[in-house]
Structure 1
């Protein structure tokens, strides 16, 4: 049995003091949005309570599917690095970046260096830096954790992700090899690889390409963030439909138009051809101090 926790969209705050040079970019729109909206809904104490609850559940591994920061400033990336160190050992925590982590040109390269230990595949010789880190594959127990990056700097008022041909070919290879090794295959990605799951200006470019990989190679589970919603979709796979599971923001307070902070806990057991995967969804309760299971289902 393997227990996998999943969180996303951390959006660590508060924002650091920004220089005029840092604001002379797309960051100005994000800065205004933070002070008008996001900063009023995201609170660090909720995130700490969530992490305490996950530690009490004692999962075998933690998957973090992006948006650790807000505007991808140097100070934010450094703070997120320290947060990762405090959250867990790189052997026990796997990360893929989101659009906010690559908010402006140059940010992706900075995070790739800073968070590298948490995004490094088992075959370190093949993992260098930047785009070449992805997709990566880590085997933990009977589970293959495959990290894909859709993070890319985009123009103002755009939050699209990109899943290109190079990653598609490499992802398919990882999936085939993991299947041959008899592993339960989990794909981690930030943007939902499903049509209609996100608005046009926030969707993933390459959804058709991702779907083709699923149909040709299959997977047992896909985890994503980005929408801040507790969703479940299914994509046609090689032998069976592939569950695609979203999760709310790890830092969202009660009272907003999207679900409050939560995490997913997957219990994986069985063997190839007869896998079992139970999903327990944990959400913030009414007192904003603890988390409780509000839905359980077999995937």
Structure 2
């Protein structure tokens, strides 16, 4: 069994001091949003609790689907590098960037430099295309796609263009032929209507066609700060689960779901995979991390719910 953890939309806080020069850009709108909204909803030890709980579960790999920072200032990007290093070795943590990581022109290049080991495939060579990348861990193929790009104020769109679609299709075909369980990472949900028009993925039709032609076993995304499950159609009508996760830094009591991560358990082999999704997150009263939901995701488009798992202390288990 392979256990893959998924978290997203870290939005590391508190926001460091921002210079006037840095605010003369789209950052001014993000700065106001932080002070009015996210400072209240995403500050404290929520993220620390969630990551500590994730580490206790000791997953085989961790996927982070973007928005590590808020305004993509130099200090934020450098701080996110330290956070990633604390989260785990680059071999066991895969990252794709989000729109906040590309907040203004040039920001994404800084993130590439600082987070480089987490953003590359197994066969990376200097000068080669960064995305999509491929990492193979046991019988699982992790394909990282970037939808991040700098946008105008009040927009948070992403894009998926023909070049990534063609390269992604090659990776999906290659890993399918090897009999691997294929997980695609992307920040923006590749689903019509999943995000507001100003926050949508441009090119989601190309993404859908790629999945329809080559298939995948699981697509993971962030961006919406919601716990969602959609389905895309793959070859021969098979259904591919597309799973979103709430922000890892969201405090309890807000209109968005509180901090959460998903733990996927992958078993079986080609044509007979079993995929179980277990959700852990902050309790509604903010009193700690607990099991939220457990369900099996089937290739016919069904999600079979189970009762939440309960962890018992070792002494009680022994009795």
| Residue 244 (structure 2) aligns with | 246
> How big is the shift at 1:220?
0.1
The aligned residue for residue 128 of structure 1 is 127
1:249-260 pair list within 5 angstroms: 249-260=247-258
CA contact (8 A) 2:246 2:257 kept: yes
Q: Deviations over 1:125-155 (max 9, x none)?
A: 2x637xx210000000100000000000000
How far the C-alpha of 1:288 sits from its partner, in A, is 2.2
Q: Contact 1:101–1:108 (CA<8 Å) still a contact in 2?
A: yes
How far apart in 1 are the matches of 2:81 and 2:254?
Answer: 28
Structure 1 unaligned spans of 5+: none
| Alpha-carbon distance between aligned partners in 1 of 2:221 and 2:90, rounded to the nearest angstrom | 20
Structure 2: 5+ residue stretches without partners:
298-319
Please say if 1:233 is aligned against 2:216: no
Cα deviation for residue 18 of structure 1 reads 1.0
* Cα distance per residue 1:40-66 (max 9 Å; x no partner): 100241101001111111100000000
| TM-score, normalisation: structure 1 | 0.97
Of 217-226 and 233-242, deviating more is 233-242
| Residue number among 160, 165, 184 corresponding to 1:163 in the alignment | 160
The match for 2:119 is: 119
Q: 1: distance between equivalents of 2:167 and 2:56?
A: 36
Q: Deviations over 1:46-95 (max 9, x none)?
A: 10100111111110000000000000001100000010011100001000
In terms of Rg, which structure is larger? 2
Aligned residues: 296
Equivalent position SS for 2:72: coil
Q: Which runs of 4+ in 1 moved over 4 A?
A: none
Cα shift at 1:283: 1.9
Which residue number corresponds to residue 308 of structure 2?
A: none
* SS of 2:18 mapped into structure 1: coil
Contact kept in structure 1, 2:258 and 2:284, CA below 8 Å: no
What is the rounded CA distance, in whole Å, between the counterparts of 2:83 and 2:46 in structure 1? 14
For normalisation by structure 2, the TM-score amounts to 0.91
**In 2: Cα distance, 1:109 partner to 1:94 partner:** 18
1:104-132: CA deviation from partner (whole Å, max 9, x where unpaired): 0000111111111001101112x637xx2
1:98-113 residue pairs with structure 2 within 5 A?
98-113=98-113
Q: Within 5 A, what are the aligned runs for 1:168-179?
A: 168-179=165-176
- Corresponding residue for residue 280 of structure 2: 282
The residue correspondences of 1:77-88 to structure 2 (distance < 5 A) are 77-88=77-88
Q: Residues of 1 paired with 2:54 and 2:232: CA distance?
A: 28
Report deviation, 1:287: 4.5
Show the counterpart of 1:188. Answer: 185
**SS of alignment partner, residue 192 of structure 1:** coil
Q: 1:150 — aligned with what?
A: 147
Separation in 1 of the partners of 2:212 and 2:31? Answer: 40
